[in-house]
Amino acid sequence: MASAAGRLVLASRSPQRRAILDALGVAFVVRPSGFEERELGEPRAVALHNALGKASAVARGDGEVVLGVDTVVSLAGRLYGKPADPAQARETLRALSGETHTVLSALALEGLAEVPRTATCETEVSFRELDEATIEWYVRCGEWRDRAGGYAIQGAGCALVDAIAGEWTNVVGLPVGALLSVHPALLSARNNRFSPQNQAELQH
Protein backbone atom coordinates (compact mmCIF):
# COMPACT_ATOMS: atom_id res chain seq x y z
CA MET A 1 0.00 0.00 0.00
CA ALA A 2 1.31 3.46 -0.86
CA SER A 3 1.76 6.14 1.76
CA ALA A 4 -0.26 9.34 1.62
CA ALA A 5 2.93 11.16 0.64
CA GLY A 6 3.59 9.01 -2.41
CA ARG A 7 4.26 10.82 -5.66
CA LEU A 8 1.07 11.94 -7.36
CA VAL A 9 0.59 10.95 -10.99
CA LEU A 10 -2.04 12.82 -12.99
CA ALA A 11 -3.49 10.52 -15.64
CA SER A 12 -4.52 13.45 -17.83
CA ARG A 13 -2.96 15.94 -20.20
CA SER A 14 -5.49 18.63 -19.27
CA PRO A 15 -3.74 21.98 -18.71
CA GLN A 16 -6.63 23.08 -16.47
CA ARG A 17 -6.13 20.17 -14.10
CA ARG A 18 -2.40 20.75 -14.05
CA ALA A 19 -2.95 24.42 -13.21
CA ILE A 20 -5.25 23.60 -10.28
CA LEU A 21 -2.81 21.09 -8.79
CA ASP A 22 0.04 23.55 -9.25
CA ALA A 23 -1.94 26.31 -7.52
CA LEU A 24 -2.39 23.96 -4.55
CA GLY A 25 1.35 23.44 -4.32
CA VAL A 26 1.09 19.77 -5.22
CA ALA A 27 4.13 18.06 -6.71
CA PHE A 28 2.99 15.74 -9.48
CA VAL A 29 3.94 14.18 -12.78
CA VAL A 30 1.75 13.88 -15.86
CA ARG A 31 1.20 10.48 -17.42
CA PRO A 32 -1.69 10.71 -19.91
CA SER A 33 -3.84 7.64 -20.28
CA GLY A 34 -4.73 6.10 -23.59
CA PHE A 35 -7.94 4.78 -22.07
CA GLU A 36 -10.88 4.85 -24.47
CA GLU A 37 -13.58 6.87 -22.76
CA ARG A 38 -17.20 5.81 -22.61
CA GLU A 39 -19.48 8.49 -24.06
CA LEU A 40 -22.98 7.11 -23.54
CA GLY A 41 -24.92 6.16 -20.43
CA GLU A 42 -25.99 7.56 -17.08
CA PRO A 43 -23.69 10.56 -16.38
CA ARG A 44 -22.37 9.48 -12.97
CA ALA A 45 -21.73 5.92 -14.13
CA VAL A 46 -19.98 7.15 -17.27
CA ALA A 47 -17.74 9.57 -15.39
CA LEU A 48 -16.79 7.00 -12.73
CA HIS A 49 -16.07 4.36 -15.38
CA ASN A 50 -13.80 6.73 -17.26
CA ALA A 51 -11.99 8.04 -14.17
CA LEU A 52 -11.29 4.52 -12.91
CA GLY A 53 -10.17 3.42 -16.36
CA LYS A 54 -7.76 6.32 -16.73
CA ALA A 55 -6.20 5.73 -13.31
CA SER A 56 -5.81 1.97 -13.71
CA ALA A 57 -4.37 2.35 -17.22
CA VAL A 58 -1.26 4.15 -15.94
CA ALA A 59 -0.94 2.74 -12.40
CA ARG A 60 2.33 0.90 -11.76
CA GLY A 61 1.82 -0.16 -8.17
CA ASP A 62 5.21 1.12 -7.02
CA GLY A 63 4.13 3.54 -4.30
CA GLU A 64 2.69 6.15 -6.62
CA VAL A 65 -0.74 7.67 -6.12
CA VAL A 66 -2.52 7.88 -9.47
CA LEU A 67 -5.34 10.36 -10.08
CA GLY A 68 -7.86 9.73 -12.83
CA VAL A 69 -10.50 12.38 -13.56
CA ASP A 70 -13.41 12.59 -15.94
CA THR A 71 -15.84 15.46 -16.45
CA VAL A 72 -19.13 15.20 -18.32
CA VAL A 73 -21.82 17.72 -19.22
CA SER A 74 -25.46 16.65 -19.27
CA LEU A 75 -28.78 18.25 -20.04
CA ALA A 76 -32.15 16.49 -19.95
CA GLY A 77 -30.45 13.09 -19.82
CA ARG A 78 -28.17 13.70 -22.78
CA LEU A 79 -24.39 13.86 -22.52
CA TYR A 80 -22.57 16.62 -24.38
CA GLY A 81 -18.97 15.61 -24.94
CA LYS A 82 -16.10 17.29 -26.71
CA PRO A 83 -17.29 18.68 -30.07
CA ALA A 84 -15.58 17.06 -33.02
CA ASP A 85 -15.73 20.15 -35.22
CA PRO A 86 -17.11 23.71 -35.39
CA ALA A 87 -20.53 22.51 -36.58
CA GLN A 88 -20.89 20.24 -33.55
CA ALA A 89 -19.67 23.05 -31.28
CA ARG A 90 -22.45 25.30 -32.62
CA GLU A 91 -25.02 22.53 -32.10
CA THR A 92 -23.89 22.03 -28.49
CA LEU A 93 -23.97 25.73 -27.66
CA ARG A 94 -27.46 26.08 -29.17
CA ALA A 95 -28.65 23.19 -26.99
CA LEU A 96 -27.18 24.70 -23.81
CA SER A 97 -28.36 28.25 -24.58
CA GLY A 98 -30.81 29.55 -21.96
CA GLU A 99 -30.75 26.25 -20.08
CA THR A 100 -29.27 24.94 -16.84
CA HIS A 101 -27.03 21.93 -17.36
CA THR A 102 -25.08 19.72 -14.98
CA VAL A 103 -21.31 19.43 -14.92
CA LEU A 104 -20.34 16.19 -13.18
CA SER A 105 -16.77 15.14 -12.41
CA ALA A 106 -15.61 11.81 -11.06
CA LEU A 107 -12.25 11.21 -9.41
CA ALA A 108 -10.46 7.91 -8.88
CA LEU A 109 -7.31 7.57 -6.78
CA GLU A 110 -5.24 4.40 -6.97
CA GLY A 111 -2.44 3.72 -4.51
CA LEU A 112 -3.79 5.03 -1.21
CA ALA A 113 -5.75 1.91 -0.26
CA GLU A 114 -6.36 -1.65 -1.37
CA VAL A 115 -9.18 -0.46 -3.62
CA PRO A 116 -9.41 2.85 -5.50
CA ARG A 117 -10.95 5.78 -3.69
CA THR A 118 -13.62 7.58 -5.68
CA ALA A 119 -15.68 10.74 -5.40
CA THR A 120 -18.03 12.74 -7.58
CA CYS A 121 -19.04 16.39 -7.71
CA GLU A 122 -21.93 18.14 -9.46
CA THR A 123 -22.31 21.80 -10.39
CA GLU A 124 -25.31 23.39 -12.05
CA VAL A 125 -24.42 25.90 -14.76
CA SER A 126 -27.00 28.27 -16.26
CA PHE A 127 -26.27 29.70 -19.69
CA ARG A 128 -27.45 33.05 -20.99
CA GLU A 129 -29.70 33.09 -24.01
CA LEU A 130 -27.12 32.94 -26.79
CA ASP A 131 -27.87 34.55 -30.13
CA GLU A 132 -26.21 33.30 -33.29
CA ALA A 133 -23.67 36.12 -33.26
CA THR A 134 -22.48 35.13 -29.79
CA ILE A 135 -22.32 31.46 -30.72
CA GLU A 136 -20.33 32.28 -33.84
CA TRP A 137 -17.98 34.52 -31.82
CA TYR A 138 -17.27 31.72 -29.39
CA VAL A 139 -16.80 29.08 -32.06
CA ARG A 140 -14.34 31.35 -33.87
CA CYS A 141 -12.28 31.84 -30.71
CA GLY A 142 -11.54 28.11 -30.80
CA GLU A 143 -11.82 27.55 -27.07
CA TRP A 144 -14.45 24.83 -27.50
CA ARG A 145 -11.84 22.35 -28.72
CA ASP A 146 -11.22 19.41 -26.38
CA ARG A 147 -13.79 20.69 -23.85
CA ALA A 148 -16.70 18.70 -22.49
CA GLY A 149 -19.81 20.69 -23.35
CA GLY A 150 -17.84 22.78 -25.82
CA TYR A 151 -16.87 25.66 -23.52
CA ALA A 152 -14.32 26.75 -20.89
CA ILE A 153 -15.73 28.76 -18.00
CA GLN A 154 -12.26 29.96 -16.96
CA GLY A 155 -11.70 31.61 -20.34
CA ALA A 156 -13.83 33.40 -22.90
CA GLY A 157 -16.59 30.90 -22.09
CA CYS A 158 -17.40 32.94 -18.97
CA ALA A 159 -19.32 35.24 -21.33
CA LEU A 160 -21.78 32.41 -21.99
CA VAL A 161 -22.62 31.79 -18.33
CA ASP A 162 -25.36 33.49 -16.34
CA ALA A 163 -24.87 31.69 -13.01
CA ILE A 164 -23.47 28.59 -11.36
CA ALA A 165 -24.54 26.64 -8.27
CA GLY A 166 -21.75 24.53 -6.83
CA GLU A 167 -18.02 24.26 -7.04
CA TRP A 168 -16.37 26.38 -9.74
CA THR A 169 -13.25 24.20 -9.94
CA ASN A 170 -15.50 21.32 -10.90
CA VAL A 171 -16.58 23.18 -14.03
CA VAL A 172 -12.93 23.89 -14.81
CA GLY A 173 -12.22 20.15 -14.62
CA LEU A 174 -10.89 19.20 -11.16
CA PRO A 175 -13.17 19.67 -8.12
CA VAL A 176 -10.84 20.52 -5.25
CA GLY A 177 -13.32 19.66 -2.51
CA ALA A 178 -13.89 16.18 -3.90
CA LEU A 179 -10.15 15.69 -4.40
CA LEU A 180 -9.41 16.53 -0.76
CA SER A 181 -12.20 14.20 0.39
CA VAL A 182 -10.37 11.22 -1.15
CA HIS A 183 -6.84 12.51 -0.44
CA PRO A 184 -7.08 14.60 2.76
CA ALA A 185 -3.30 14.61 3.27
CA LEU A 186 -2.63 16.18 -0.12
CA LEU A 187 -2.06 19.69 1.20
CA SER A 188 0.19 18.62 4.07
CA ALA A 189 2.09 15.91 2.23
CA ARG A 190 5.88 16.06 2.25
CA ASN A 191 5.91 16.74 -1.49
CA ASN A 192 3.62 19.79 -1.28
CA ARG A 193 5.71 22.92 -1.71
CA PHE A 194 3.54 24.81 0.81
CA SER A 195 3.84 22.12 3.53
CA PRO A 196 5.36 23.17 6.87
CA GLN A 197 8.41 20.97 6.22
CA ASN A 198 9.17 22.58 2.89
CA GLN A 199 8.49 26.08 4.15
CA ALA A 200 10.92 25.50 7.01
CA GLU A 201 13.58 24.35 4.56
CA LEU A 202 13.06 27.44 2.39
CA GLN A 203 13.63 29.69 5.40
CA HIS A 204 17.05 28.19 6.13
Pairing of strands 8-10, 65-75: parallel
pLDDT of 20-72, one tens digit each? 999 999 999 999 988 888 889 999 999 999 999 999 999 887 889 999 999 99
Regarding the domain delimited by 8-202, which CATH topology (the fold level of the hierarchy) does it fall under? Maf protein (3.90.950)
Q: Tell me whether residue 105 is exposed, middle or buried, using C-beta atoms within 10 angstroms of its C-beta: 0 to 12, 13 to 18, 19 or more.
A: buried
Mark out the alpha helices in 38-195 (DSSP H runs).
43-58, 86-96, 132-141, 168-172, 176-182
Known catalytic membership, residue 162: no
DSSP string, 70-115: EEEEEETTEEE---SSHHHHHHHHHHHTT-EEEEEEEEEEESSSSS
What is the torsion angle, in degrees rounded to the nearest 10, for the CA atoms of residue 156, residue 42, residue 47 and residue 121?
70
Distance between CA atoms of residues 130 and 152, nearest Å: 15
pTM: 0.89
| Mean per-residue pLDDT of the chain | 91
Nearest to 189 by CA among 28, 29, 56: 28
Q: What is the pLDDT of residue 197?
A: 63
The catalytic position among 22, 62, 70, 146 is 70
Q: What is the pLDDT of residue 199?
A: 56
Helix axes 132-141, 86-96, angle to 10 degrees: 130
Q: What is the pLDDT of residue 188?
A: 80
pLDDT of 79-92, one tens digit each? 999 999 999 999 99
